[in-house]
Amino acid sequence: MTEPEWVEHAIWWQIYPLGFVGAFPADVDPGPDEHRLRRVIDWLDHAITLGASGIALGPVFASRTHGYDTTDHRRIDPRLGDDSDFDAVVGAAHERGLRVLLDGVFNHVGTDFPAYRAAVDGDEDAARWFRGRPGRFHTFEGHGELITLNHNNPTVVDYTVEVMSHWLDRGADGWRLDAAYAVPQRFWSQVLPRVREAHPQAWFVGEVIHGDYTGMVTQAGFDAVTQYELWKAIWSSLNDGNFHELNWALRRHNEFLDCFVPQTFIGNHDVTRIASKLDHPAHVAHAVVLLMTLGGVPTIYAGDEFGFQGIKEDRAGGDDAVRPEFGSPPFPADETGRELFALHQFLIGLRRRHPWLHTARTKSVSVDNRGFVYETRGDDRALVVALNIDDAPMPLDVPGLVVAGSGAPPQERVQRAEVPAHGWLILEPGTK
């Protein structure tokens, strides 16, 4: 594993800055003199109260629309502000002990990217920045506004190294590498070692949706990849009443942990909110329990801790519902939101008290369609987690100390227990 030591304790609070500060979509684009990126500072204490140790920022670099059509990787998006605003956010985060993760788009660029404009105008050297040829440059997944870079070009390698190093020099602590699955792994294997030379404590996570996670990490040199397999298994097993799917995914997850520690999540800026994705409202708690008791680097998408709703749609503007503007804190949560926030706080605290959960492996104690009991273990410590999504209570014949659960008094030692309908329990196993 190549991850820095600090990542063992990392819990990210992720935001999509352009939406978070109301810069996109907007009827009129805000200008840099509005310094909207600084609005993030107002929410840093919220991240601390939640229990996070870092903020994972979506795109903050100059672009025309949603941030993933980069125009200039060296410049803060003027709709957000300027370099001084970036410095202010990083400084305020670090003062509070929060790390800062940036979102880097190095698979493709927007059509306002200077080299692309030069290539269109006939500059042959500029044309070598891109896959294909003038008039027939490759695009990312058919999006005509996203032009694919030529990752075989040493100039593109050098450019990426320079950009990543520049922002790490300015205080960033790591990079999420957008669409890393679409980039040749040999490109990353050329870029990342050079960046690490000057920044050995930086963390690099590749966005990978499907495929050979372990092979990509080994070949590319990522510290981690996004664990979409587990995300899918969590909501799907809860909705379908099929914990066998989750059990299979956890076996895969154990194999990944032998090589790297994945970035785990139950929501992000690219998917339907977990509170909207799940058919039964009570099962949001089950998803949070899973996130916080499994090995990984947990990431909470801003708003999920309050039970925000939002459905992603496959259309123009289809991401807007999951990327809303946040006002000034505190958020006026209803009773459900307050309870869910408290649950996040408790489970993050549990994880802090058991840092071995970072690399914990799981094994099934019992599994059927609507009930799942698993042991999560590391460093000779263990927890037993019981999930029940049935309409009837589920008996649990595991002696131990009840740490937490729905409808159960914590810190009670039991020889056997009952998991309420649509409830959950966490125990420290043992008879002492």
One-character DSSP codes across 76-143 = E-TTT--HHHHHHHHHHHHHTT-EEEEEE--SEEETT-HHHHHHHTT-HHHHTTBSS-TTS--EETTE
CB 175 within 8 A of CB 101: yes
The token pair that represents 318 in the structure block:
């289809």
Please name the amino acid found at residue 376. T
Q: 185-198 and 154-169 are packed helices; what angle lies between their axes, rounded to 10 degrees?
A: 40
Average pLDDT estimate for 180-189: 97
Query: What average pLDDT score do residues 186-198 get?
Result: 98
pLDDT score recorded for residue 402: 94
The pTM assigned to this predicted structure is 0.97
The average confidence (pLDDT) of the chain is 96
Nearest to 283 by CA among 388, 362, 432: 388
What mean pLDDT is predicted for residues 191-200?
98
HSE (side-chain half, CA atoms, 13 Å) at 98? 27
pLDDT of amino acid 115: 98
Measure the CA–CA gap between 314 and 325, rounded to whole angstroms.
20
pLDDT at 411: 77
Question: Percentage of residues in the chain with pLDDT exceeding 70?
Answer: 99
pLDDT tens figures, 109-155? 999 999 999 999 999 999 999 999 998 999 999 899 999 999 999 99
Over residues 41-46, mean pLDDT: 98
For 196, residues 6+ apart whose C-beta sits below 8 A from its C-beta are 2, 202
What end-to-end distance do the CA atoms of the chain give, in Å?
A: 36
**In the predicted model, is pLDDT for residue 73 greater than 80?**
yes
- Per-residue pLDDT for 408 more than 80? no
Q: Angle at the Cα of 62 (from 60 to 66), degrees rounded to 5? A: 70
Architecture of domain 5-360: Alpha-Beta Barrel (3.20)
β-sheet with 108-110: strand ranges across: 108-110, 143-148, 139-140
Please return the burial class of 339, using the count of CB atoms within 10 Å of its CB with bins 0-12, 13-18 and 19+. Answer: middle
| pLDDT value of residue 1 | 74
Sheet holding 99-104, edge to edge: 224-225, 203-206, 174-177, 99-104, 54-57, 12-15, 297-301, 263-265
Asked if 173 and 101 touch (Cβ cutoff 8 Å), the reply is yes
* AA letter at 347: L
Q: Which of 283, 269, 372 is closest to 322 using CA atoms? A: 269
Structure tokens at 291: 């996130």
> Who's near 191: CB < 8 A, 6+ residues apart?
157, 160, 161, 164
pLDDT at 186 exceeding the cut of 70: yes
Tell me how crowded residue 31 is: count the other CB atoms within 10 A of its CB: 11
Beta-ladder partners of 13 = 55, 300
* Strand 297-301 versus strand 12-15 pairing type: parallel
The structure tokens listed for 270 are 């690219």
pLDDT tens figures, 313-369: 999 899 999 999 999 999 889 999 999 999 999 999 999 999 999 999 999 999 999
| CA atoms of 344 and 348, how far apart (whole Å) | 6
Question: In the prediction, which pLDDT does 379 show?
Answer: 86
Which residues 6+ apart lie within 8 Å of 420 measured at CB?
388, 393, 406, 407, 408
Per-residue pLDDT of 78-94, as tens digits, reads: 999 999 999 999 999 99
Place of tokens 């807007």: 320
Distance CA 9, CA 52 (A): 9
Residue-wise pLDDT for 217-268, tens only, equals 999 999 999 999 999 999 999 999 999 999 999 999 999 999 999 999 999 9
pLDDT confidence of residue 335: 95
396 forms bridges with which residues in the sheet?
Answer: 417
Distances (CA, A) of 372 to 65, 287, 411: 44, 13, 22
Q: Check residue 431 and give its pLDDT.
A: 65
For the chain, give every domain's residue range: 5-360, 363-429
Q: How far apart are CA 377 and CA 355, in angstroms?
A: 11
Pick the CATH number of 363-429 from 2.60.40.650, 3.40.50.720, 2.60.40.1180, 3.30.310.10: 2.60.40.1180
DSSP line for 224-255 = EEB-HHHHHHHHHHHHHT-HHHHHHHHHHHHH
Would you give the distance in Å from CA 308 to the centre of its chain? 16
* Residue 310 host element (H or E): none
Q: In which band, very low, low, confident or very high, does the pLDDT at 432 lie, cut at 50, 70 and 90?
A: low
